[in-house]
Chain A
Amino acid sequence: MFHTVAELVTQAAAYPNVAELMVAQEMANTGRTREQIRDLMGRNLDVMVAAVHQGIQGVTSVTGLTGGDAKRLDAYLAAGDTLCDPTVLEAVRNAVAVNEVNAKMGLICATPTAGSAGVLAGTLVAVRERLGLTREQQVDYLFTAGAFGLVIANHAGIAGAEGGCQAEVGSASAMAAAALVAAKGGTPDQSAQAVAITIANMLGLICDPVAGLVEIPCIKRNALGASQALVSADMALAGVRSVIPPDEVIDTMGRVGRQLPAMFRETAEGGLAQSPTGRKLMAQVFGEPTE
């Protein structure tokens, strides 16, 4: 059993990779077989990929406030004249796609939450062809992300109402960075460094959903969280290390989350939700002004 990132990295040495350590721990905890556990994860993978494809076709949210940006990004990518490497922008497009499907009450897989579901699916679908990942390696990607996510969830939390957006998109981005490192052939320690680098940059990110909806700014934060996961992974693969150890960075996120005023914890009482346009949109959607 691992409870910290340090334990996770140490224990992974006895397994082919972090993903297999996670599978072994899941088997011990649940009594399920390796095949059952990997099949369950495979089903999650299928939902994630389907959500990416659905969103790219162009969808509109239940409220009509958001939608169509994944399709716009797809057309921009297809024109072939982008500033960023296409892999980064594909991850951005895919993340937007998943969260647009989420906002229309479509089917998604929470990773770790629904509001942050775009990051892991978005990055995976962006790199899986380029890195030649088999289906089993794509399932491994999710187990690697889940292993680091478990430590983050237990030490810092993953609910925006508890810890702000750092707990949601911050956690998702860190999990994706760790999985990207592993998928590119990096070590468990490099995955851990990618987690630390990512969370350190997300500390304090508030949860300020306009009208309390998981749309503005959530969808675009997933997009940028996906891009950051790729950059953090490259940094860690280059040998860049976090001076503050990963477990201390995670504990810091938990502490910062508890110190955040309630207005920045998914109450729609602060941040962009209380901007003039944010307030206007709330009145437009629910027919009444905010308190």
Chain B
Amino acid sequence: MAEEVRFHSVFDIIGPVMVGPSSSHTAGAARIGKVVRSIFGEEPETVTIHLYESFAKTYRGHGTDVALVAGLLGMSPADPQLPDSLKIAYDRGIKVAFVPESTQVDHPNTAKIVLTKGDRTLTVTGVSIGGGNIQISEINGLKISLQMGTPTFITVHRDVPGMIAKATDIMAAAHVNIGTMTVTRTAKGEKAIMILEVDERHPELKAQLQAIPDVESVTYFD
């Protein structure tokens, strides 16, 4: 049977080091939150989290709610403050709502997160596939498959001409091959998001992307 290779690294299996109690429902949830926060690029004013299937049924027992919010605050799964995230969000004035959904989705551990700040809205769907590993399956209604196991750059930038060319020029100059690329925006001329999944690990290129005029924030994962 030909299955897709979802787990690539030995550290997907032995790891992560994390605050308990569940790798899929706590650590995976925190990672989803953290990636979503990185894509958004700033602290949100409101957070609405839609939970599906196993996430919807067991989120409180597993601390999924606490972990998602911890990630949205920028915490990693091993952060000792993770258990206190709801209080921290409340103290910072972030409005948080959880919506358990009864509709069926492709994977049992799915969360759709809607962040807003002012007029800006970002909707991202994340999936926790086991052992703390995650995928991002949708951004602003656009179906994507972001594996998180591969080196990835995410930029938040102003939607002006030439941004994609500038980013790909940097990759080309460093002999970095782009595997997949996703670009999405909230509205014409507003903020846009570019996701570059590349074949080689080059965290130092983050600074070069950051230096492009009209780029607000750059995140790098591998």
Contact = CB atoms under 8 A, between A and B. Distances in A.
Contacts of A102: 20-21
B165 interface: no
A104 B130 contact: no
Interface stretch (B50-58, B154-162, B178-186, B205-213): B50-58
Interface stretch (A6-14, A125-133, A138-146): A138-146
Given A114-B23, A214-B20, A251-B1, A109 B53 contact: no
B53 A262 contact: yes
B17 A146 contact: no
Contacts of A113: 22-24, 130-132
A142 B15 CA distance: 10
B98 interface: no
A233 B107 CA distance: 34
B92 interface: no
B5 interface: yes
Interface residues of A, number: 65
Interface in B2-53: 3, 5-24, 26-27, 53
Given A31-B201, A109-B15, A157-B130, A268 B10 contact: no
Interface string A206-241: 000101111100000000000000000000000000
A194 interface: no
Interface stretch (B59-67, B113-121, B187-195): B59-67
Contact of A150 (B13, B20, B23, B63): B13
A269 interface: yes
Kindly name the residue among B1, B62, B63 whose own CB sees the greatest number of chain A CB atoms within 10 A.
B62
B174 interface: no
Contacts of A112: 12-14, 23, 130-131
Kindly name the residue among B18, B20, B108, B130 whose own CB sees the greatest number of chain A CB atoms within 10 A.
B20
A215 B21 contact: yes
Given A30-B9, A153-B6, A265 B58 contact: no
Interface string B67-82: 0000000000010101
A160 B28 CA distance: 13
A105 B131 contact: no
B9 A44 contact: no
B197 to A, nearest CB: 15
Contacts of B63: 105
B217 interface: no
A115 B21 contact: yes
Contacts of A29: 8-9
A110 B15 contact: yes
B101 interface: no
A113 B62 CA distance: 13
A102 B22 CA distance: 8
Nearest to B222: A30
The binding surface of chain A is classed by DSSP as helix
Contacts of A201: none
Nearest to B82: A105
Contacts of A105: 19-21, 63, 82-83
A115 to B, nearest CB: 6
Contact of A106 (B11, B20, B107, B130): B20
A20 interface: no
Nearest to B14: A146
A107 B53 contact: no
A286 B24 contact: no
Contacts of A26: 9-11
A97 interface: no
B3 A213 contact: no
B57 A154 contact: no
The 8 closest A-B pairs by CB, nearest first: A212-B58, A159-B130, A212-B61, A102-B20, A149-B13, A214-B21, A146-B10, A110-B23
29 contacts: A22-B10, A26-B10, A41-B11, A44-B14, A62-B83, A103-B21, A105-B63, A106-B20, A109-B18, A110-B18, A112-B131, A113-B131, A115-B21, A143-B14, A146-B14, A150-B10, A153-B7, A158-B13, A159-B108, A159-B128, A161-B54, A161-B130, A162-B129, A167-B130, A212-B58, A212-B60, A214-B62, A285-B61, A286-B61
Interface of A: 3, 22, 25-26, 29-31, 37, 40-41, 43-44, 47, 62, 101-115, 117, 120, 142-143, 145-147, 149-150, 153-155, 157-162, 167, 175, 209, 211-215, 251, 254, 262, 265-269, 285-286
Interface of B: 1, 3, 5-24, 26-27, 53-54, 57-63, 78, 80, 82-83, 107-109, 128-132, 200-201, 222
Given A111-B14, A154-B7, 4 more contacts: A29-B8, A105-B20, A155-B1, A160-B24
